[in-house]
Structure 1
Amino acid sequence: MNYANLSTPGFRLRGFTIIELMITVAILAVLLALAAPSFQAMIASSRLTTATNDLIAAFAQARSNAIKVGNRTTVCMSADGASCTDTGGWHQGWISFVDTTRSGTSAAVDTGETVATIYPPLPAGIVVNGNLPYISYSADGQSKAMSGGGFWTGTIRVCSTSSALTNDKRARNLTLNSAGRITMTVQSNVADTCPSP
Structure 2
Amino acid sequence: MKNTAGFSLIELLVVIAIAAILGSLAVPSFQGLIASSNLTSATNDLMATLARAKSDAIRRGKRVTVCMSADGAACTTTGTWTQGWIMFNDDSHPDGAAAVENTTDITAITAALTNNIVVKAKSSQTYFSFSGDGQAKLMNGGSGAGRIRVCSTSSALTNDTRAREIVINWVGRVNLEKPTGIAATCPAPT
Q: Is the 8 A contact 1:91 1:128 kept in 2?
A: yes
The CA distance in 1 between the partners of 2:29 and 2:142, in whole Å, is 46
**1:66 and 2:66 correspond:** no
After superposing on structure 2, the runs of 4+ consecutive aligned residues of structure 1 that deviate more than 6 Å are none
TM-score (norm 1): 0.87
> What secondary structure sits across from 2:128 in the alignment?
strand
**1:166 and 2:187 correspond:** no
Q: Deviations over 1:23-56 (max 9, x none)?
A: 1111101100011111111111111111111111
**1:185 and 2:166 correspond:** no
Change (3 A) 1:60 1:94: same
Gaps of 5+ in 1: 1-12
Pairing partner for 1:134 from 127, 132, 155: 127
Deviation at 1:15, TM superposition (A): 2.3
The CA distance in 2 between the partners of 1:126 and 1:139, in whole Å, is 32
Equivalent AA in structure 1 for residue 132 of structure 2: A
Larger radius of gyration between Structure 1 and Structure 2 = 1
Q: Is the 8 A contact 1:86 1:106 kept in 2?
A: no
Deviation at 1:152, TM superposition (A): 4.1
Equivalent AA in structure 2 for residue 21 of structure 1: L
Gaps of 5+ in 2: none
Report the aligned-residue RMSD.
1.8
Deviates most, 45-54 or 110-119: 110-119
> What secondary structure sits across from 1:155 in the alignment?
strand
Would you say how many aligned residue pairs link Structure 1 and Structure 2?
184
Deviates most, 163-172 or 17-26: 17-26
The CA distance in 1 between the partners of 2:15 and 2:127, in whole Å, is 56
Equivalent AA in structure 1 for residue 72 of structure 2: G
Deviation at 1:155, TM superposition (A): 0.9
Q: Is the 8 A contact 2:64 2:130 kept in 1?
A: yes
Equivalent position of 1:33 in the other structure: 24
Percent sequence identity over matched residues?
Answer: 53
